[in-house]
Structure 1
Amino acid sequence: MFEHHGWITICESAADDEDNSRLAEIVERLQHRIQQIDSPYLLDLRWMNGEPFLHMGGFSNHRTSPEILDLFHYVGAIAPGSYGLLHLRDDEDPAHGNEVRVLALVRGSVTEHTEPRLSPCIPTLEDPAAPTGRAER
């Protein structure tokens, strides 16, 4: 199972600058990229109070493609002032199958960490599986 939930505040640069002349172009590029992904994922790019935001989420049986992770990195590359978080749960990840991971986008760089409030998934989020088989009599 692969679950993800995230958000990004889209910013051209980290400078506190009122002149975001490239911001509309950046949003247009992101909109095009989102249309290419066109899938059952939640991908919502919209302007709120004069600022663009991207919200994403999804839940599938397997991590079948890296599109969402690629999109998260792509935003950092084209809009290095952007910031946001993407929470991931992938029970097929051999190194982190019992963890919720969080990707943090800050100043164009993405780092990955374990989310301590939701990990380990078992027993934090789910009960351990019941033992299988019958007791010998």
Structure 2
Amino acid sequence: MFEYHGWITVRETAVDDDDDSRLWQVVDELRLRIAQTASPYLLDLRWMNGEPFIHLGGHSNHRSSPDPVGLFEDVAKVAPGSYGLLHIRDYEDPVHGNEVRVLRLARGTVTRHTESLLSPCIPTLEDPFAD
């Protein structure tokens, strides 16, 4: 199983004085990318109180399309002032399969971390399998 939940505050720069016309271009570019993503899961870009936000979440049998990590990396490139978090649980990950991983988007960089509040998944979230 592949489960993910995340959000991004979209900003062109980290100075928080974005040029509105440039920010609208960035948002339109991201909206097009989101529209081209065929997904039955949550993937939403909307303006709230004058700022654009992306929300995403899903739970599929395997890691496949849509690619939430790729979306975070794309936002880092086109809007390096953006920030957000993506929590991932990938049962098939050979190294981190018993962890909830967190991707942090800040200042144009995506970094990966273990979510200590939810890891290790067994026994924090689930009981061990009975033999």
After TM superposition, the structure 1 = structure 2 runs for residues 45-124 of structure 1, keeping only pairs within 5 Å, are 45-65=45-65, 67-124=67-124
* Higher Rg: 1
Q: Corresponding residue for 1:135?
A: none
Moved more, 100-109 or 15-24: 15-24
Q: 1:41-88 deviations in whole A, cap 9, x for unaligned? A: 210100000000000000001102462111110001000000000000
**TM-score, normalization by structure 2:** 0.96
Shift in Å, 1:18: 5.4
Q: Corresponding residue for 2:37?
A: 37
When residues 66 and 45 of structure 1 are mapped into structure 2, their CA distance, relative to the original with a 3 A threshold, is closer
When residues 122 and 8 of structure 1 are mapped into structure 2, their CA distance, relative to the original with a 3 A threshold, is same
Structure 2 contact 10–79 (Cα < 8 Å) conserved: yes
Aligned equivalents of 1:76, 1:99: Cα separation in 2: 24
Q: Corresponding residue for 2:23?
A: 23
Aligned equivalents of 2:16, 2:80: Cα separation in 1: 13
Quote the RMSD (CA, aligned, Å): 1.1
Instruction: Give unmatched runs, 5+ long, in structure 1.
Output: 132-137
Instruction: Give unmatched runs, 5+ long, in structure 2.
Output: none
Structure 2 contact 39–65 (Cα < 8 Å) conserved: no
Aligned equivalents of 2:65, 2:19: Cα separation in 1: 36
**TM-score, normalization by structure 1:** 0.92
Report how many aligned residue pairs link the two structures: 131
Identity of aligned residues (%): 69
Structure 2 contact 2–91 (Cα < 8 Å) conserved: yes
Secondary structure of the residue that 2:72 maps to in structure 1?
helix
